[in-house]
Amino acid sequence: MREYTENESDNKKINFLKPCVYIVGAGPGDPELLTIKAQKLLLAADVILFADSLVPQQILELCRDEAEIIGTANKTLEEIVPLMVERVRSHKSVVRLHSGDPSLYSATREQMQLLAEAKIPFEVVPGISAFQAAAAKLKVELTVPGLVQTIILTRSSGRTEVPPTEELTSLAAHQASLCLYLSTRHIQDAQAKLLKHYPADTPVAICFRLGWPEEKIWIVPLEEMANLTEQQKLTRTTLYVISPALKQATAQMLNTGVGRSRLYHPEHSHLFRLQE
């Protein structure tokens, strides 16, 4: 059995993990975007369960050669949870790897509930979500003073229904920076709903497999979002960022001071930089 030393500073040292399930956010796909904690857990875990279709192979290259690696794409919750329970009861450490951050569209709630009922200890390790990876790739800030100060993370209804109170048309009314997950198959419908409130030329970043070797990003006007999705045959692992902030992300605009944050402005004082 391996145990994990929380304050271990040397990444290369093999840490020892306690028998427990670690629900870990793997980030968008680039292994360099794993947290240090996630990396340490992957280096030391006895068993790794991962969503095959969502976590790229490159992340698993960190795992020990002797680790048991189990793909979960073809498994039900009723198969996955007993597997984790059995391994922990056999004094093994288990990493349950989810793409991005486990707090978003990861079906972790029901896993945690069943683990708690079985009295299996578990911990959650956050990861970088796709929307954060997208903003970094695009070199944009999704909140721009005077333009947009709200980010909406949402999805289209599919097999999982979105509650009527969160209907896309009503969210679009805010004209916020809107990050649309899990929506390629319903993109015509999503576009029509978004166009009820966003101008047709609002920029949309269509981000396919961010951080994967085959990553692609297109920036198109909202009215072309669905066409491009269909032309490129995008059916999975695609995030849409619809935002007026994408327009502002040009060096020219920053030079003129448009949309400049007050935080670093010389006329703005705050706790760590009092105005003279």
Ligand X SMILES: C[S@@+](CC[C@H](N)C(=O)[O-])C[C@H]1O[C@@H](n2cnc3c(N)ncnc32)[C@H](O)[C@@H]1O
- Chain residues that interact with ligand X, rule: CB under 6 A: 28-29, 54, 98-101, 104-106, 129-130, 181-182, 207, 209-212, 236-239
Q: Between residues 62 and 118, which has the closer beta carbon with respect to ligand X?
A: 62
Q: Between residues 88 and 206, which has the closer beta carbon with respect to ligand X?
A: 206
State in angstroms the smallest separation of the CB of 212 from ligand X.
6
Q: Between residues 18 and 39, which has the closer beta carbon with respect to ligand X?
A: 39
State in angstroms the smallest separation of the CB of 97 from ligand X.
11
Q: Between residues 11 and 160, which has the closer beta carbon with respect to ligand X?
A: 160
Who's near 211: CB < 8 A, 6+ residues apart? 27, 28, 29, 30, 33, 56, 133
State in angstroms the smallest separation of the CB of 90 from ligand X.
29
Give the dihedral sign, CA 192/196/199/202. negative
Place of tokens 């995008």: 234
Give the dihedral sign, CA 269/270/271/272. negative
State in angstroms the smallest separation of the CB of 229 from ligand X.
12
State in angstroms the smallest separation of the CB of 4 from ligand X.
23
Q: Which residue is nearest to ligand X (CB)?
A: 100
Q: Between residues 118 and 162, which has the closer beta carbon with respect to ligand X?
A: 162
